[in-house]
């Protein structure tokens, strides 16, 4: 990856609050032994098995503002079901930690048509996105009608494996029709003419708060911008079904191109988008198919659990403020091992603090009074994204 010697990386501004985490032991450790599963139709237009989902809730839980994760199965948009092993194991894993989870079916394409027609491939993805949006709106509507599932609508996450990961990613990062090229834009008629689709529950938002991507990819990296939803990805570096980098799906030139988790991670870093990637070394695409029987699937669950935990409303240590105009500028030395801060005015002797992207304190730096610049060595920091805060101003930077 090419790194700019001087990287202006003021993407978001932050101020810190002193509120301690108040998740009360939930969402990390298993605190429930059993889950209840109920099957429901999530569309008020289509009443078939392709528009069913299994909703998992922890048995004996009395909390009524729980985060929600919707999980979508794999199968190359031509096969698969909400009851596959990875779906069940994923939903049970999170539900036993206090989440509400849903394993969601969606419309599938005829396998012969799909592999022979680019339009059929586009239509299949668009229909799955329409169904995903309807499923999210179903929960938003249920919330104002008594909240029978006991969810927190400010903590809704979408995830999936393989094709399910593709659904989750595209739902998050295709924001409006203007982003779409003509060959995709012309196919919106297959789902009613708009990105909100044709699967119903209209009048409610389909906005989500984060993405869990297991071996998924995105068709166009330019759809990922700095103001998008955070994403955590788990991907095998030898994957040829959804390439770890970029190639046609299934390594088949007849299929649409997908850029996998490594390229998504690079683009997200360059955009200062909150993200993490777990690279599964010497691993192909099938690591998730057998659920928790495979230790790598368990590793993926734990990695995504920790990422999502830091996004939950009960665990927020950072707040976003986009109103500051008096910014300080960050640049790197040519070896990317030293960070230089240039302020528009002299420091007042206040300290600077470095936090990791989850808001955990890492380092304190003393700023000399009457100076407007400071060099900070990065050699002791692990690779990743960090936040540096000076008073009420802050910025993200990346240690490579």
Within a 13 Å sphere around the CA of 288, how many CA atoms are in the beta-carbon half?
30
Residues 264, 340 within the same domain: no
Rounded-to-integer distance, Cα 286 and Cα 289, Å: 6
Residues 230, 370 within the same domain: no
SS3 131: helix
Tens-digit pLDDT profile for residues 209-226 = 999 999 999 999 999 998
Residues 288, 385 within the same domain: no
- Residues whose CB falls within 8 Å of the CB of residue 377, separated by 6 or more in sequence, listed in order: 337, 338
Rounded-to-integer distance, Cα 51 and Cα 277, Å: 31
Percent of the chain with pLDDT over 90: 69
First-residue to last-residue Cα distance in the chain: 10
Residues 262, 367 within the same domain: no
The residue out of 291, 315, 339 marking a domain boundary is 315
Percent of the chain with pLDDT over 70: 87
Structure confidence at residue 80 as a pLDDT band (50, 70, 90) = very high
Q: Which residue has the higher pLDDT, 192 or 322?
A: 192
Inside any domain, residue 18 = yes
The residue out of 315, 336, 356 marking a domain boundary is 315
Tokens describing residue 197: 């689709």
For residue 352, what is the enclosing H or E element?
strand 351-356
Tens-digit pLDDT profile for residues 7-61 = 334 444 443 333 334 688 899 999 999 999 999 999 999 999 999 999 999 999 9
Residues 30, 109 within the same domain: yes
Separation in Å, CA 218 to CA 125, 307, 362:
11, 20, 33
Q: What average pLDDT does range 67-85 have in this prediction?
A: 98
Q: What average pLDDT does range 99-122 have in this prediction?
A: 98
Inside any domain, residue 341 = yes
The residue out of 315, 336, 366 marking a domain boundary is 315
Inside any domain, residue 399 = no
Inside any domain, residue 320 = no
Q: What average pLDDT does range 263-290 have in this prediction?
A: 94
Q: Do residues 126 and 119 lie in contact, with contact meaning Cβ atoms separated by under 8 Å?
A: no
Inside any domain, residue 32 = yes
Q: How would you classify residue 248: left for phi > 0, otherwise alpha for psi between -120 and 50, otherwise beta?
A: beta
Separation in Å, CA 202 to CA 40, 220, 298:
18, 27, 36
Q: Do residues 285 and 241 lie in contact, with contact meaning Cβ atoms separated by under 8 Å?
A: yes
Q: Please tell me the predicted confidence (pLDDT) of residue 331.
A: 65
Give the least confident one: 96-100, 110-114, 262-266, 388-392: 388-392
Residues 80, 178 within the same domain: yes
Tens-digit pLDDT profile for residues 150-170 = 999 999 999 999 999 999 999
Tens-digit pLDDT profile for residues 86-103 = 999 999 999 999 999 999
Residues 73, 154 within the same domain: yes
Residues 310, 330 within the same domain: no
Tokens describing residue 320: 């976003």
pLDDT at 198 over 90: yes
Residues 162, 204 within the same domain: yes
| Chain centroid, CA 229 distance in Å | 6
For the chain, what is the mean pLDDT?
88
Q: Which residue has the higher pLDDT, 367 or 333?
A: 367
Inside any domain, residue 96 = yes
| Chain centroid, CA 157 distance in Å | 7
What's the number of domains the chain is made of? 2
Rounded-to-integer distance, Cα 122 and Cα 133, Å: 17
Domain assignment of residue 120, given as a range: 10-315
Within a 13 Å sphere around the CA of 256, how many CA atoms are in the beta-carbon half?
23
Residues 300, 349 within the same domain: no
Residues 298, 353 within the same domain: no
Residues 295, 370 within the same domain: no
């Amino acid at each position: 990856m090419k790194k700019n010697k001087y990287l202006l990386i003021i993407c978001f501004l932050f101020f810190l609050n002193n509120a301690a985490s108040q998740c009360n032991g939930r969402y990390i450790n298993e605190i429930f032994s059993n889950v209840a599963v109920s099957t429901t139709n999530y569309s008020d237009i289509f009443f078939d098995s392709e528009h069913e989902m299994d909703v998992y809730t922890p048995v004996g839980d009395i909390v009524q503002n729980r985060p929600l994760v919707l999980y979508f199965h794999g199968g190359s948009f031509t096969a698969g079901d909400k009851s596959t092993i990875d779906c069940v194991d994923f939903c049970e894993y999170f539900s036993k930690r206090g989440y509400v989870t849903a394993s969601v079916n969606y419309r599938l394409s005829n396998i012969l048509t799909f592999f022979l027609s680019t339009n059929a491939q586009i239509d299949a993805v668009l229909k799955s996105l329409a169904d995903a949006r309807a499923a999210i709106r179903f929960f938003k509507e249920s919330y104002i009608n008594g909240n029978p599932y006991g969810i927190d609508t400010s903590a809704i996450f979408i995830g999936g494996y393989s094709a399910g990961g593709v659904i989750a990613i595209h739902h998050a990062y295709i924001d409006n029709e203007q982003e779409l090229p003509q060959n995709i834009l012309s196919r919106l008629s297959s789902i009613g003419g708009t990105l909100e689709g044709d699967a119903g529950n209209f009048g409610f938002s389909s906005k989500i708060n984060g993405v869990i991507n297991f071996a998924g990819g995105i068709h166009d990296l330019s759809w990922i911008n700095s103001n998008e939803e955070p994403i955590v990805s788990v991907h095998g570096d030898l994957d040829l079904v959804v390439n770890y980098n970029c190639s046609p799906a299934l390594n088949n030139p007849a299929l649409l191109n997908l850029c996998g988790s490594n390229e998504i991670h690079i683009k997200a870093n360059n955009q200062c988008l909150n993200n993490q990637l777990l690279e599964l070394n010497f691993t192909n695409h099938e690591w998730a198919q057998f659920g928790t029987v495979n230790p790598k699937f368990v590793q993926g669950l734990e990695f995504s659990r920790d990422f999502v935990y830091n996004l939950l409303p009960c665990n927020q240590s950072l707040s976003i403020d986009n109103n500051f105009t008096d910014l300080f500028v960050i640049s790197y030395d040519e070896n990317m091992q030293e960070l230089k801060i240039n302020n528009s005015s002299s420091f007042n002797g206040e300290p600077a603090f470095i936090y990791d992207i989850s808001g955990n304190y890492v380092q304190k730096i003393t700023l000399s009074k009457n100076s407007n610049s400071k060099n900070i060595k990065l050699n002791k920091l692990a690779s990743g994204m960090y936040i540096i805060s000076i008073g009420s101003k802050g910025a993200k930077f990346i240690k490579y």
